[in-house]
């Protein structure tokens, strides 16, 4: 079979766990079934001298392929089938928020084909869909009818700045959530997945803000909530959808009135030391320490409380 596919000129095989023969014939578990085809691809590559066909495993994430499938192929589906509806996209994003660590140069969580241009997705939902799939390093497979594609859909699919993150030749890892937003951290919520994401790229820190609400919302975060941002520095802000440079962010950033189910995608690059004399002396006040060893945040015991602030002439925390 794989030789025939190669002769036909295909370079990717998506292998579904469908139409499985009786156990008495197969005599293999799930991994064993996929191992047979992986070995056939490897053997064909060696005998033909051609690059191996890319192997995309699809068993809908039921046996946690993000743990074992990279030994057999390049991509593995993580969920049930996709559809051009926001609730399905939200469900897929939620599932993948917990396993985003699994994608790198050696294998990718496959969040299924793109539905951009299909169904009744709004423009903002389609942008969010494409942004999340690209920045989470999922394969980007177009499924809409290219012969009748709209200018707006084509604009989304041809966003070179978003695609550049997906195809980064230096950094292969996905963005990950740094704050869930309306939910507490690590909350499984298929209608309201994680909202605040960040990751590395060869050109700077990538930020994705996802408004999972049904109404516009302001989205605020402290820069150092992202583990790749340096404290005490300020950052140039590049908007990857408006393709504009939007000034410099110092400590915090707010995206105003993000549309329902809409997205903001940013690239932050170091712009040098932050201005002197900012208060508080730490961007994140928890466990902020004076040079003399005094803890400055108000924790209600020892020197790290409001008495310390009054003695030093500093404003009360609720006035900062």
Which candidate in 11, 43, 81, 273 is catalytic?
A: 81
Backbone angles phi, psi at 196, to 5 degrees: -115, 120
Active site annotation includes 81:
yes
Nearest CA among 217, 192, 76 for reference residue 137? 76
CA distance 305 to 303: 6
Which candidate in 11, 16, 214, 273 is catalytic?
A: 16
Whether 306 and 300 have beta carbons less than 8 Å apart is answered as: no
Q: Please tell me what DSSP assigns to residue 93.
A: H
Whether 110 and 77 have beta carbons less than 8 Å apart is answered as: yes
Q: Which helix (H) or strand (E) holds 197?
A: strand 196-201
Nearest CA among 53, 51, 55 for reference residue 69? 55
Active site annotation includes 7:
no
Mutual angle of helices 123-135 and 86-97, in 10-degree steps: 20
CA distance 96 to 93: 5
Place of tokens 């192997």: 55
Asked whether the CA dihedral 190, 192, 196, 202 is positive or negative, the reply is: positive
Whether 77 and 57 have beta carbons less than 8 Å apart is answered as: yes
Q: Please tell me what DSSP assigns to residue 163.
A: H
Convert 303-315 to b/e letters by CB count within 10 Å (16 or more is b). Answer: ebbeebbeeeebe
Q: Quick check: bond before 280 cis, omega within 30?
A: yes
Catalytic positions are 16, 81
């Amino acid at each position: 079979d794989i030789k025939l596919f190669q002769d036909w000129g295909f370079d990717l095989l998506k292998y579904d766990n469908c139409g499985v023969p009786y156990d008495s014939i197969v005599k293999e578990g799930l991994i064993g079934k996929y191992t047979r085809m992986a070995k056939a691809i490897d053997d064909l590559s060696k005998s033909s001298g051609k690059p191996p066909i890319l192997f995309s495993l699809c068993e809908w994430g039921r046996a946690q392929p993000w743990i074992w499938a990279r030994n057999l192929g390049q991509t593995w589906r993580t969920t049930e089938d996709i559809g051009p509806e926001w609730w399905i996209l939200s469900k897929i994003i939620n599932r993948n928020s917990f396993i985003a660590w699994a994608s790198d140069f050696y294998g990718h969580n496959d969040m299924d084909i793109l539905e951009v241009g299909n169904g009744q997705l709004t423009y903002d939902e389609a942008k969010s869909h494409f942004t999340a799939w690209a920045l989470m390093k999922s394969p980007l497979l177009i499924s809409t009818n290219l012969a009748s594609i709209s200018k707006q859909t084509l604009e989304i699919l041809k966003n070179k700045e978003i695609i550049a993150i997906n195809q980064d030749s230096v950094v292969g890892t996905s963005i990950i959530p740094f704050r869930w937003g309306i939910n507490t951290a690590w909350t499984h919520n298929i209608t309201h997945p994680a909202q605040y994401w960040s990751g590395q790229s060869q050109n700077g820190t990538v930020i994705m803000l996802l408004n999972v609400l049904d109404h516009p919302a302001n989205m605020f975060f402290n820069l150092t909530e992202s583990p790749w941002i340096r404290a005490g520095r300020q950052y140039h802000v590049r908007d990857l959808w408006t393709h504009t440079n939007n000034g410099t962010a110092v400590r915090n950033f707010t995206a105003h009135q993000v549309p329902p189910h809409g997205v903001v995608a940013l690239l932050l690059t170091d712009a040098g030391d932050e201005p002197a004399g900012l208060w508080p002396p730490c961007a994140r006040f928890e466990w902020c320490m004076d040079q003399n060893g005094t803890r400055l945040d108000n924790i209600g015991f020892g020197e790290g409380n409001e008495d310390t602030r009054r003695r030093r002439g500093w404003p009360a925390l609720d006035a900062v």
